[in-house]
A = this chain, B = another copy of it.
Amino acid sequence: MNISRSIADVRERIAAFRREHPGASVGFVPTMGYLHEGHAALLRRSVAECDFTVISIFVNPLQFGPNEDLERYPRDEDRDLKLAAECGANLVFLPTVEEMYPKRQRTIVSVSGVTERLCGASRPGHFDGVATVVSKLLHIVGPDRAYFGMKDAQQIAVIRTMVEDLNFPVDIVPVETVREPDGLALSSRNVYLSPEERRQAAVLSQALEHAQRWSAEPGMTAPVLEERVKSHIRTAPLAVIDYVEVLTYPELEQPGADTPLAEISGELILALAVKFGSTRLIDNRLLNLQEVTQACSAP
């Protein structure tokens, strides 16, 4: 596994691989480091599907708001490199902030529509920062496929919209969320949780599981489902809800408040953001109405 800290070096190594292996495919896993089993799932998927796998580790200042956790975002380069190697990555891109932003960034890639709700509403400018850095990374790496975790479902919606609208020659591959035994979605931010917060945080995935069942109840609507999920989350005394929303996916638009969920064509997502102390956790679930309806109507 090679490690590159400069853009020129990454480009050179990937170009050399492509020259030596005409027609071979390059997979890319962009991360902010502090890798866990969720990242490992992305890497393994890329290694299985592509001939050469590149992972980037870069805590992107452009996607953090002024009062967010940029400075204290967890970092552990040695452990990250070990995990990347174990998963079979071929090249790690580990740039400094100066390498990625040598001067003030004057060009911003901005996606409207899918960015207005959920984390886009809570974190103004966040998705401009994400779209801009992913645009840069895609130009630097030039992958055939890029892998993103479904835990950040809105991020995937934003990046798919960008890739489609700007005709990036890349396939965006969503990969299912990896969870702890009690259901908590893996996140680099989980290390911030106190033992008691960590214990109570299991309520989030529980709520999503219940919601899957509740969504199949006859006449169930988005506002009623959201209220029930909120009530369940509030059974954890340390939970402070930022949002709980049922939206169409990947458009992220509100379904009609009075429309029964079963009558909505296309996919629906239940997405939530909840704070435990100063740690903000997100999670989501695509609501599989078809399957559940069938299961309920079975004899």
Contact = CB atoms under 8 A, between A and B. Distances in A.
Copies of this chain in the oligomer = 2
Interface in A131-171: 131-132, 135-136, 139-140, 142, 161-162, 165-169
A48 interface: no
A139 B163 CA distance: 10
Contacts of A114: 106
A264 B256 CA distance: 61
A290 interface: no
B111 A110 contact: no
Contacts of A191: none
A248 to B, nearest CB: 15
A232 to B, nearest CB: 34
A14 to B, nearest CB: 10
A266 interface: no
A160 B165 CA distance: 21
Interface string A27-68: 000000000000000000000000000000000000000000
Nearest to A162: B107
B107 A165 contact: yes
A136 B167 CA distance: 5
Nearest to A169: B139
A126 B113 CA distance: 21
Contacts of A113: 106
Interface of A: 7, 11, 19, 22-23, 105-114, 131-132, 135-136, 139-140, 142, 161-162, 165-169
